[in-house]
Amino acid sequence: MNSDCIFCKIVNKEVFAAVLFEDDDIMAFMDIKPINEGHSLVITKKHAVLVDELEEELYLKLFPIGRKIANKIKEVFPETKGIMYFIADGEHAGQEVPHVHLHIIPRKPNDGFDFTFDPAYYDRLLTEEERTKVKDKLIPI
């Protein structure tokens, strides 16, 4: 528990959230500023800023709940044509709330939400050699 953390306050019921699911480890609730209807957040009750701070077992519990919610969203909001499972892990990855959360973002055609890239990005495919060089830096994982 981090007393400055808005998601810890939600876990502690000090701040309202429309809670979809809760067990001993996990909580899921509706995002306050949804990208589309049904946008939900799945969090660990334990406070951790980054994924790597969580035990593997706990981290993996986010996804089955996320998938259940995604399936329900698709059933209830048929305009949903895809789901974005998204974790911003760190401030420079776009994380605004420093408590691990998995976004379940329903997507529909032309919903106006997207990642933006520098125009040069679109022209550039790595060669086999370039990809191998990067891979060699990363292995063994």
Any contact of residue 5 with Zn ion (CB under 5 A)? Answer: yes
- Minimum distance of ligand 5GP from residue 83's CB (angstroms): 15
Tell me how far, at minimum, the Cβ of 139 lies from ligand 5GP, in Å: 29
User: Do 70 and 76 form a contact (C-beta atoms < 8 A)?
Assistant: no
The residue among 22 and 95 lying less far from ligand 5GP, judged by its C-beta, is: 95
Using CB under 5 A, which of 39, 45, 61, 99 touches Zn ion?
A: 99
Please say which residue, 7 or 29, places its beta carbon nearer to Zn ion.
Answer: 7
For Zn ion, the closer of residues 39 and 47 by Cβ is: 47
Residues with active-site annotation: 101
Q: What is the per-residue DSSP string for the chain?
A: --TT-HHHHHHTTSS---EEEE-SSEEEEE-SS-SSTT-EEEEESS--SSGGGS-HHHHHTHHHHHHHHHHHHHHH-TT--EEEEE---SGGGT--SSS-EEEEEEE-TT-S------GGGGG----HHHHHHHHHHH---
| Cα 45 to Cα 59: distance, rounded to the nearest angstrom | 11
The interface partner of residue 57, options being ligand 5GP, Zn ion, none and the CB cut-off 5 to 8 Å by kind, is none
Give the binding range for Zn ion (CB under 5 A) out of 7-15, 55-63, 67-75, 100-108: 7-15
Binding site for ligand 5GP (CB under 6 A): 6, 17, 29-33, 41, 88, 94-97
Interface residue list for Zn ion (CB under 5 A): 2, 5, 7-8, 47, 99
